[in-house]
Amino acid sequence: MRRRALGVLIALSVPAVLMLAGCGGGLTAAQVRNRATQVCDRAADRSAAIRLPETPSGGPRFLAQGIGVLAPEIRALRSLGDHGPIQIAVSAMGAELAAMRSSLKGLHAGNDPVVAVKTLQQQLVGPEQRANTAWRTLRVPACVSR
């Protein structure tokens, strides 16, 4: 009798624990994929509208516009969950955003635009790879870096 009561207690508590941990009471995997795809597709459309700078002096505007796309994308994706691959992807994207903001700040302070862009490209490699791996794990190709 005691074993049965313990089994029932465990069976009832596992879903509650998973829900409290964020692993069972939220969106389904399909819902996460669909919503993330919508968010990333919107961001891709907005990114496509950003014109490449014709001169190095256009770098700050270009970066500011990119930040203006990435920041709301991250906020929207963060709302999909805060655990597992979603958290990894959003955290990595946050690192990309921080690098972009730092580069923009440096450009405003007078840093050489060519050096700043090359440095930024190097800084983005690791976070982009982490985010891409997480989005592939979640099977959300729309969010893989374009």
68-84 pLDDT, tens digit each: 999 999 999 999 988 89
Token pair of 9, please? 């207690």
- C-alpha distances in Å from residue 37, one per residue of 54, 62, 65, 95: 31, 24, 21, 21
pLDDT digits 0-9 by tens, 84-109: 999 999 999 999 999 999 999 999 99
| pTM, 2 dp | 0.80
Asked whether 146 and 48 are in contact (CB, 8 A), the reply is: no
Distance CA(88)–CA(140), nearest Å, equals 14
Distance CA(104)–CA(53), nearest Å, equals 14
Token pair of 10, please? 């465990």
Give the angle 133-106-112 at the CA atoms, nearest 5°.
Answer: 100
Residue 101: predicted pLDDT? 98
Distance CA(68)–CA(70), nearest Å, equals 6
Rounded mean pLDDT of 26-54? 95
**pLDDT: is 106 or 1 the higher one?**
106
Task: Please tell me whether residue 82 adopts helix, strand or coil conformation.
Answer: coil
Mean pLDDT lowest among 18-27, 31-40, 123-132, 135-144: 18-27
| Confidence band of 27 (pLDDT split at 50, 70, 90) | confident
Asked whether 95 and 127 are in contact (CB, 8 A), the reply is: yes
Cα distance from N-terminal residue to C-terminal residue, the chain = 59
